[in-house]
Chain A
């Protein structure tokens, strides 16, 4: 299989168009299943009460915020090393969805924190490093669009994204390295039925978020390709609109 075949923007444009709807369908089906488990089946936590149900969107969006940054940084690495065009377009397509998930992780954490910690926000290592992640996404998008020549924007933003990778282990290990208000990674609840339903619901919601992120990225990369290749002959050909 020739992978470079798919790295050509016109080919990938068509492939992305065919694949995107399936990822959205998968995301919707998984979200329905996950929300059913998380909101309806899972029992309420004895300590925190019903507000713990925020976990079913907080943890998946927080995981995706970091995972999408990692994938974006990998594409940025390809851009800098091989000077490939599609990798830069993919990084640009991932960033807004990554920022959206980061924002929702912070927002839901805030609304979970108020009844459990008594505050919407605290400058704790986990919260602060996640906020830095949001600013890294914003910085990436601003820098990518700051140049007349988009190829220069690609390279400048890619460099920023790669430097920002340092923040990922800081977010992940912050609850171990510092004494944070944010709880640690291992959540244990009394009773096994609770644990299984909670874990299943959280994993199903994570897969839903993942599939949604792929669908949104594929749709966005098609627009990025059109914006960048607007002078090429193929964008005026059949099967583009």
Chain B
């Protein structure tokens, strides 16, 4: 379980393939962040809609 790289700069450089490796890992990270934000937005909207309906019914 020894670390393969001898330095952090070597790790980030990915043997010259940095662009391809980090575009891949970065895209997955971005997709997960976006999905989690969208999940929260959807939940807030669903709860707000229920709240709104309840208020409307209370008025009538």
Contacts and interface: CB of A to CB of B under 8 A. Distances in A.
A54 B20 contact: yes
A230 B3 contact: no
A43 interface: yes
A74 B3 CA distance: 42
Interface residues of A, number: 39
B31 A103 contact: yes
A138 to B, nearest CB: 15
A182 to B, nearest CB: 16
A175 interface: no
A40 B24 contact: no
A220 interface: yes
Interface residues of B, number: 32
B47 A226 contact: yes
A57 B49 contact: no
- Judged by DSSP, the binding face of A is helix
A100 B31 contact: yes
B17 A61 contact: no
A103 B31 CA distance: 9
Nearest to A226: B46
Contact of B15 (A50, A108, A112, A222): A50
Interface in A41-89: 41-44, 49-51, 53-54, 57-58, 61
Interface of A: 39-44, 49-51, 53-54, 57-58, 61, 96-97, 100, 103-104, 107-108, 111-112, 114-115, 212, 216, 219-220, 222-223, 226-227, 230-231, 235-236, 240-241
Interface of B: 1-5, 11, 14-17, 20-21, 23-25, 27-28, 31-32, 35-36, 38-39, 42-43, 45-47, 49-50, 53-54
